[in-house]
Structure 1
Amino acid sequence: MTDRKEEIARNLAKVEERIAAACADAGRKREEVTLIVVTKTYPASDVRILAELGVRQVAENRDQDAAPKAAACADLPLTWHFVGQLQTNKVRSVVGYADLVQSVDRSKLVAALSKEAVRAGREIGCLIQVAFDAGVSGRGERGGVAPEGVAELADLVAEAPGLRLGGLMTVAPLTGQYAGREQAAFERLMVLSTDLRKAHPTATMVSAGMSADLEQAVAAGATHVRVGSAVLGVRPRLR
């Protein structure tokens, strides 16, 4: 085993222990929570190591990095999640490799994703990104739609050809009433998820929590956690 593989294996084991402990504390079964490893800024060789170690769900947030990496790893049994803010001019590329887009936050993006999914003959899973720091614009600092806009956007996704409404996603906000209150934000997301499932029963996915706050997300009821640095190490500085 290479040094890098040993490092990732150790980190993965620690994260697994954290998730298992959080599930036990919350009275949940470990299999209720899926780990998505965020591979942004890391090379395709790390993605291959993750696959060798049994990881099946990976996430990227920049198409210019993700597209070549996904192509280089096309032979691996992976599910690719796109988790970054997505511009409509990148949609065609993202639809080429992403199985799920977790950052759907506006009607224009829904229309673009639907058009390209149909063109590519694919079904793309979509999560509505909820912004708990949304201001008067109705969008958050790091993307996302205000809670009040979730139902309308979810209906658009559910009706769009080529798209499948999977559920909700959030990033713990840095500003606003939920700043520094990660678990409260995640609990609010669960309330929104419950409401969403009344209209869309199959939209059961709740993606919340990252390296620093996965325990709070599991406690709140998240079904998926997105972990990067705790598995792969401190990220290289972006140029």
Structure 2
Amino acid sequence: MTNQQLAEFPASDRLEQLRSGLTAVERRIEAACAAAGRPRSEVTLIVVTKTYPASDTRLLASLGVREVAENRDQDAAPKAAECADLPLTWHFVGQLQTNKVRSVVRYAHHVHSVDRTRLVTALADAVAKAERPPLGCLVQVALDKEKEAGAAGEGRAGVAPDDVLALAERIADTPGLRLDGVMTVAPLAGTLAADPAAAFARLAEISTAVRAAHPAATMVSAGMSGDLEQAIAAGATHVRVGTAVLGARSRLG
């Protein structure tokens, strides 16, 4: 369904679509938590609303959604402004260029994709200029950059596992930023690419090491529509789900 078709879709019908998607995802999360022996309260659902209009975000909010995510500032900034009256927590989950930082810090509560020291500096400078509360930051981990991964070709954005602790330390020591934890996307290359469960288990090991040095950095952001069960089994505290809630995306229209 294109965005133009969505705009012409009756709001009541779209509300029921979203309700159905949310219900199905909630059942999956509940089942995954039960299978892992974890309380449902340990896992936060973040609905990724990228490519969908602010009207969908409003409908989601009416259904009780409080955590939403975007991966492109050019989409997120106007949507966050239009939805500023809603009780939402905004997560930025995409690759972030330094020239977009000033805009992102105006609305984001958490940035999941911190992957280099230059970005840490830029975020801190923007936070100071915005005179806003500390910004939550997660280190994005590129598991296909593991030395033993045997990765070849194009991989995920993020920092290599061996470099996570150093970047986490840099965030924690930077005024205006708060180290919240780690994030990953299942790798595209290497030995872990075919095994999301093993990939998320590796992220759990990295998270444990980060928490040993920074006990408050408890967020483990992992798992999407296709692999949220494996992520929850490995200890994810936040799952980022878009398609399973909102339907297949299109930028047409």
TM-score, normalised to structure 2, is 0.91
1:195 matched to 2:209: yes
Alignment partner, residue 130 of structure 1: 141
Contact 1:41–1:238 (CA under 8 A) maintained in structure 2: no
Alignment partner, residue 170 of structure 2: 156
- Counterpart CA distance in 2 for 1:182 and 1:238 is 31
Partner residue of 2:116 out of 91, 94, 106: 106
- Counterpart CA distance in 2 for 1:186 and 1:238 is 33
Contact 1:60–1:84 (CA under 8 A) maintained in structure 2: yes
Q: Which amino acid aligns with 2:41?
A: E
Corresponding residue SS for 2:158: coil
| 1:238 CA displacement | 6.3
Question: Which residues of 2 match residues 37-186 of structure 1 at below 5 A?
Answer: 37-122=47-132, 123-134=134-145, 141-186=155-200
- Counterpart CA distance in 2 for 1:53 and 1:187 is 32
- Counterpart CA distance in 2 for 1:142 and 1:87 is 15
Gaps spanning 5+ residues in structure 1: where?
none
| 1:177 CA displacement | 1.6
Change (3 A) 1:8 1:165: same
Question: Which residues of 2 match residues 210-221 of structure 1 at below 5 A?
Answer: 210-221=224-235
| 1:141 CA displacement | 2.8
1:29 matched to 2:43: no
Q: Which amino acid aligns with 1:125?
A: G
Q: Which amino acid aligns with 1:106?
A: R
- Counterpart CA distance in 1 for 2:209 and 2:170 is 16
Q: Aligned residue pairs: how many?
A: 236
Partner residue of 2:27 out of 14, 17, 23: 17
Percent of pairs with identical residues: 68
- Counterpart CA distance in 1 for 2:213 and 2:28 is 33
Q: CA RMSD in A?
A: 1.4
Corresponding residue SS for 1:133: helix
Corresponding residue SS for 2:145: coil
Question: Relative contact order, CA 8 A, sep 6+: which one is greater?
Answer: 2
Runs of 4+ deviating beyond 2 Å: none
TM-score, normalised to structure 1, is 0.96
| 1:118 CA displacement | 1.2
| 1:13 CA displacement | 0.2
| 1:237 CA displacement | 3.7
Contact 1:63–1:94 (CA under 8 A) maintained in structure 2: yes
Corresponding residue SS for 1:226: strand
